[in-house]
Each structure stands twice: as C-alpha cells, then as structure tokens.
C-alpha cells in the first residue's frame, strides 16, 4: 500500500476541491480500491502505488483547471470516468477550448469529448448538423459560437429558427395573435440568449434586427448573407422545409442544424427532413455532421438513464 497527503495552501481552494471530490469518494473506494479522506484542508490517500498516482494526477489536473474557470460536479464526474477509460489530462483537454460570449458572462466550454468534436466541427464547417439526444448541448454550444461570431464581427446578425410543431399541438388552437402563438415554441432560444448576453443587450439586438428569432416559415424566399443561422428542433422539419432552409444560405454565413431523431412530432405520413438530410448530405465538402450520444448528456444524470431505458424498450424484439 502507498500513502500520500496533498496539502492546499488556501482554505477556499481546499473547500471547493473537497466539494467537487466528495461525490467520487465511494467510486475511488469501489473502483480503485483507494481510501480517500478529506480532512483539515488536506486530501489523504491510501491505495496501491498505481491508484495513488492516478488519484494525485487527477486532483492536480482538477486544481489547475479550477484556477482557470469554475468546474462543475458533472464535469468532474465525466473526467473521472474518462480517466478510468485511459484518457489522460482530461480537464486540460476539455477546458482548452473556450467560447467567449457576452460581457459579464462566463466563457462557454464543451463538457465532454463529444461536445469538443462538435465545437471543432462548428469551427471548421460552413454547415453543421448537430444530432443527438436532449441535453447534449447541441443548441447551447451553437448559440455560444453564434454570439462569439457576432461580437467578433465575423457575421452581422444571428438568425434563430424552429419549426412551429411541438408534441402534436396545433397553433390554430392556441390563444392570441401569431406572435403570441409561436412565442412558447421559441422560448428555449430566448433562454439560451439570456444565458450568454445581458438582458439589455438581448433586447437591443432584437430591436435592431441584429438577432432575429422566428418560426421556420419566415425563412422562405430569403437569402441569408453575413449571418449565423441556427435551425433548432430540426427533426420536426418536413423534407420540403429542410431543403428550403438549406438553400437559404448566403455569402459569408454559417448554418447549424440541431435535432434529435428520437423525438419526431410529425405525422407518421410525413418523413423527417433531418433524417433524410443526414443520409444524403454526409459526403458534401464543408458540411459537417456530428453525432452526440448519451455520454454527452449534461443534464441531471437521470436523463441519461431515462433515454437509455426508452431506447432499450423501443429496440425491435428478436
């Protein structure tokens, strides 16, 4: 057995690192055979030499990453599992890509290696498809790249759109004028905007038309130049709508299409435009298709379990 003690010079650092490590203590014991004790600003480790060195390196990597930007417990848990799977320098790899957004807002960064590949695809491609389950950061990371591009004057406007079909509801039966009818369907896009820009900047840019949030039907007949365009919930586009949207792309523009093929709300007689596009566009140059999975989910851990249970249930029975 090997014993080691890590000391923290600052009380606040010891507290913060201790809180992040606390959920992993039982895993250290079960999976690495290590007894790890957090006590009086120290981490005391008792394990085999190999496990001790792994845990020390993991904690040192966490300390360095935490000094750059706050790390959340979910990222710590993900990095631990990556370390168990043989990945090295997990915190450094995840935090080396940062997307600066609005003033007084923290940088956005990918929280999984799948999300990191997605951000890289967003950077390299004029058109990117982000496909995967709910909670994998498809829209959030695309929004961060859009805001960063706008603030860096790489584009002159952001256009955010969704098909106005959700969970089988029909707009005609909802109260209010057209704007009021579609507002609930566009709300998630506004929420992401407010996460990354101060409220006054969101309102100012919307008033100026620098940021436009509109239903997909409003894209018909337009050419979108010098814009960063995001189509969200694309699994609910028809084949005709997807073709219409993709052919709106103008000069010096980027386009991101996000969706989850497992959550199609279209009638059975209407195939999803997203599913068709994924099949027929995979070999187009300057067009990237990034598939995210349950491993990339950054919501409550139960979400991953729920999605896996539904997928198992829906598998064709032998």
User: Do 207 and 78 fall into the same domain?
Assistant: no
Mean pLDDT to the nearest integer, 203-230: 92
Strand 2-7 to strand 287-291: parallel, antiparallel, or no bridges (unpaired)? unpaired
Percentage of the chain beyond pLDDT 70 is 92
Q: What is the pLDDT of residues 260-303, one digit of tens each?
A: 999 998 888 789 999 999 999 999 999 999 999 988 887 666 77
For residue 173, give the CATH number of its domain: 3.40.50.300
The answer to whether residue 152 is domain-embedded is yes
User: Do 82 and 126 fall into the same domain?
Assistant: no
The answer to whether residue 308 is domain-embedded is no
pLDDT at 175: 56
pLDDT at 301: 61
User: Do 180 and 232 fall into the same domain?
Assistant: yes
User: Which domain covers residue 262, as residue numbers?
Assistant: 113-302
Q: What is the pLDDT of residues 64-81, one digit of tens each?
A: 888 887 888 888 888 888
User: Do 88 and 120 fall into the same domain?
Assistant: no
pLDDT at 180: 62
Q: Which residues pair with 291 in a beta bridge?
A: 131
User: Do 231 and 118 fall into the same domain?
Assistant: yes
Instruction: State the Cα–Cα distance between residues 107 and 120, nearest whole angstrom.
Output: 16
pLDDT at 183: 67
**Which of 291 and 314 is assigned the larger pLDDT?**
291
Domains identified in the chain, total number:
2
Where does the pLDDT of residue 168 fall: very low under 50, low under 70, confident under 90, or very high at 90 and above? Answer: very low
pLDDT at 123: 95
The answer to whether residue 307 is domain-embedded is no
Q: Which residues contact 61 (CB under 8 A, 6 or more apart)?
A: 79, 89, 90, 91, 92
pLDDT at 139: 94
The answer to whether residue 108 is domain-embedded is no
The answer to whether residue 318 is domain-embedded is no
């Amino acid at each position: 057995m090997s014993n080691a003690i890590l000391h923290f010079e600052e009380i606040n650092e010891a507290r913060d690192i201790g809180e992040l490590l606390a959920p992993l203590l039982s895993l250290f014991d079960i999976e690495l055979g290590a007894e790890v004790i957090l006590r009086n600003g120290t981490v005391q480790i008792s394990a085999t030499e190999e496990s001790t060195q792994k845990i020390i390196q993991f904690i040192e990597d966490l300390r360095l990453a935490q000094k750059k930007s706050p790390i959340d417990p979910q990222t710590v848990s993900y990095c631990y599992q990556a370390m168990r799977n043989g990945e090295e320098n997990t915190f450094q790899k995840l935090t080396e890509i940062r997307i600066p957004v609005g003033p007084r807002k923290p940088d956005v960064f990918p929280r999984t290696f799948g999300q990191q590949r997605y951000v890289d695809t967003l950077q390299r491609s004029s058109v990117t498809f982000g496909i995967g389950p709910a909670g994998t950061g498809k829209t959030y990371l695309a929004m961060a790249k859009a805001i960063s591009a706008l603030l860096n004057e790489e584009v002159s406007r952001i256009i955010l759109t969704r098909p106005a079909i959700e969970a089988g509801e029909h707009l005609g039966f909802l109260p209010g004028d057209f704007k009021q009818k579609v507002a609930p369907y566009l709300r998630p896009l506004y929420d992401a905007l407010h996460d990354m820009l101060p409220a006054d900047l969101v309102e100012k840019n919307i008033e100026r038309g620098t940021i436009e949030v509109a239903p997909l039907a409003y894209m018909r007949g337009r050419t979108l130049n010098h814009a960063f365009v995001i189509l969200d919930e694309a699994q609910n586009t028809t084949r005709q709508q997807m073709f219409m949207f993709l052919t709106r792309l103008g000069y010096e523009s980027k386009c991101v299409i996000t969706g989850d093929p497992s959550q199609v709300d279209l009638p059975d007689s209407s195939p999803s435009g997203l599913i068709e596009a994924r099949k027929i566009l995979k070999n187009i140059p300057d067009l990237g298709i990034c598939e995210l999975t349950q491993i990339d989910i950054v919501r409550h851990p139960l979400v991953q379990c729920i999605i896996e249970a539904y997928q198992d249930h829906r598998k064709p029975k032998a």
